[in-house]
């Protein structure tokens, strides 16, 4: 343990020896600091009880200054020597990072600073580790992600970004509920991993002695609800994909999925545009977001482009010429040898087209071969009635007219199983097919990656800036690499 850690621990022990509990149970009738600040100039003077984390201390002998911070704001606390018990406690035992509760009169200091003139109070929690010096300017972002609890109290703008996240999701729910959508909850543990193409996380239920998968998508359960008679449903929840980590990918992320009976992908496209335009109007100045050096307007109408046309334009090949597509793939260092033609084409699309879809763009008419749950186009049966929305080169949404033919769906499921692809289910989901056999009306479905949407609306370049606790490789917990060393003097 460091010298500073030991010093703080000794203060904690000293508090206990003097009969003072350094971790009392409560500090009741507390006023949020923002509410206290609003009453600073009231006449007659208002008394208040406030509490928060100590972020700065100044000792002028008979007069002690403490900056106290809670979720709502920051307030200067002044402790005069006349408040003997509190003055002694603050002078001898208080450190930056501790929690302190005080009571006194609100007013202003001689310099005009809003202040609380405290005459009583107590330490509410003794911090054994100090606030790291210059945390605000720390360049090791990995350390900030690993110790988000410090990042949040040391960097108020980080806390504000997650308050922003909460407001956006609340507004998203409100937008859908106002349009008649019902919020539901479906299982996270699935007996068959389905609803998307991804490697699942696998677990085991001991009592039932059965293998289960953390869901990669709620799709198949939500469509069961459409079979059951619900006509507009949505779910906001976690999904899990056992894949890589990057600025746009986290193995655990938040997804919005919705299903709407009696419409097709075109109505879903209009709805998607309405949702994002509405959120941008509420949360982006002039409906404009800034991502790095790019300024992007999130206003209707969004561009609508066909998949194959974009490949011809950006890859400079004929997408119907499989040999040309494979040559292009090899030129892009894509190992296409074991991939079917449609997957090779999609790999080329991801490399040559996606990075250039900066302004909001709906890409439509994907190859049916890579859309096992989507209805095929009546005019062009080799294409699916599907779209993806891209902003800043990132896939934000995926949607299609839902396949509701149980015989066609069974054939596609069986083709998936025969493919032995690790990203597809290893068995046919008979219960889902049973649901379809009871009849599902025509419907459109939509999935939006909430974390990526927040990246767009909030101007974040890494998905980890939108997730409170992104997954990280574990490191040593005491003094090893990636820990906050307790030896940094915060004063």
CATH number at residue 108: 2.40.50.140
Q: Is the domain of 109 the same as that of 195? A: no
> Domain for residue 408, yes or no?
yes
Taken in order 41, 46, 48, 54, is the CA torsion positive or negative?
positive
> What integer pLDDT is reported at residue 134 of this predicted model?
59
Q: What is the DSSP-derived secondary structure letter of residue 126?
A: -
How far apart CA 124 and CA 21 sit, in angstroms, is 8
Q: Is the domain of 175 the same as that of 92? A: no
Q: Is the domain of 176 the same as that of 116? A: no
Query: Can you give the residue range of the structural domain that contains 104?
Result: 3-125
Q: Is the domain of 114 the same as that of 190? A: no
Q: Is the domain of 210 the same as that of 107? A: no
Q: Is the domain of 95 the same as that of 222? A: no
CATH number of the domain enclosing 461: 3.30.930.10
Helices (H), 94-155: 141-146, 148-154
CA atoms within 13 A on the CB side of 9: 7
> What integer pLDDT is reported at residue 486 of this predicted model?
43
Distances (CA, A) of 348 to 97, 239, 311, 382, 388: 52, 27, 8, 18, 16
Preceding peptide of 301 cis, ω within 30°? yes
> Domain for residue 450, yes or no?
yes
pLDDT < 70 regions, the chain: 1, 133-140, 476-491
Q: Is the domain of 409 the same as that of 367? A: yes
Q: Is the domain of 266 the same as that of 158? A: yes
> Domain for residue 104, yes or no?
yes
Q: Is the domain of 57 the same as that of 180? A: no
Q: Is the domain of 257 the same as that of 376? A: yes
> Domain for residue 322, yes or no?
no
The count of domains in the chain is 2
Q: Is the domain of 55 the same as that of 192? A: no
Q: Is the domain of 369 the same as that of 227? A: yes
> Domain for residue 489, yes or no?
no
> What integer pLDDT is reported at residue 122 of this predicted model?
96
């Amino acid at each position: 343990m460091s010298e500073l850690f030991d010093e703080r621990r000794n203060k904690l022990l000293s508090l206990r020896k003097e009969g003072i509990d350094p971790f009392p149970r409560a500090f009741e009738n507390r006023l949020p600091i923002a509410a206290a600040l609003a009453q600073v100039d009231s006449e007659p003077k208002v008394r208040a009880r406030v509490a928060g984390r100590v972020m700065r201390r100044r000792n002028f002998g008979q007069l002690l200054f403490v900056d106290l911070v809670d979720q709502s704001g920051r307030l200067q606390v002044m402790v005069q020597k006349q408040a003997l018990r509190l003055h002694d406690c603050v002078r001898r035992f208080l450190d930056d990072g501790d929690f302190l509760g005080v009571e006194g009169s609100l007013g202003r200091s001689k310099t005009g600073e809003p202040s609380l003139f405290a005459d009583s109070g107590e330490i509410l929690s003794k911090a054994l580790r100090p606030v790291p010096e210059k945390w605000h300017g720390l360049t090791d972002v990995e350390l900030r992600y690993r110790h988000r609890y410090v990042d949040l109290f040391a960097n108020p703008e980080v806390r504000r970004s997650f308050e922003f996240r909460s407001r956006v999701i609340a507004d998203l729910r409100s937008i859908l509920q106002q349009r008649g959508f019902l919020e539901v909850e479906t299982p996270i543990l699935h007996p068959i991993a389905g609803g998307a193409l991804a490697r699942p996380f696998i677990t085991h239920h001991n009592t039932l002695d059965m293998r289960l998968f953390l869901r990669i998508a709620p799709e198949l359960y939500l469509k069961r609800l459409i079979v059951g008679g619900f006509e507009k449903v949505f779910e906001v929840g976690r999904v899990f994909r056992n894949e890589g980590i990057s600025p746009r990918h986290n193995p655990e992320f938040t997804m919005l999925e919705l299903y709407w009976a009696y419409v097709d992908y075109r109505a879903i496209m209009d709805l998607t545009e309405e949702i994002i335009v509405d959120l941008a109007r509420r949360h982006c100045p002039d409906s404009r977001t800034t991502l790095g050096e790019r300024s992007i307007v999130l206003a209707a109408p969004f561009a609508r482009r066909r998949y194959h046309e974009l490949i011809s334009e950006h890859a400079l090949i004929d997408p119907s010429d499989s040999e040309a597509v494979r040559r292009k793939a090899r030129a892009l260092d894509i190992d296409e040898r074991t991939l079917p033609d449609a997957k090779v084409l999609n790999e080329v699309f991801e490399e040559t087209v996606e990075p250039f879809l900066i302004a909001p763009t709906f890409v439509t008419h994907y190859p049916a071969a890579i859309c096992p749950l989507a209805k095929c186009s009546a005019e062009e049966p080799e294409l699916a009635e599907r779209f993806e929305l891209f902003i800043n080169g990132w896939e934000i949404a995926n949607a299609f007219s839902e396949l509701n033919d149980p015989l066609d769906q069974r054939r596609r499921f069986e083709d998936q199983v025969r493919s032995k692809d690790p990203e597809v289910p290893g068995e046919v989901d008979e219960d889902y097919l049973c649901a379809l056999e009871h009849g599902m009306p025509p419907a459109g479905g939509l999935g939006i990656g909430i974390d990526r949407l927040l990246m767009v609306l909030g101007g974040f370049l890494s998905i980890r800036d939108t997730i409170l606790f992104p997954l990280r490789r574990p490191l040593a917990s005491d003094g090893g690499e990636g820990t906050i060393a307790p030896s940094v003097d915060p004063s």
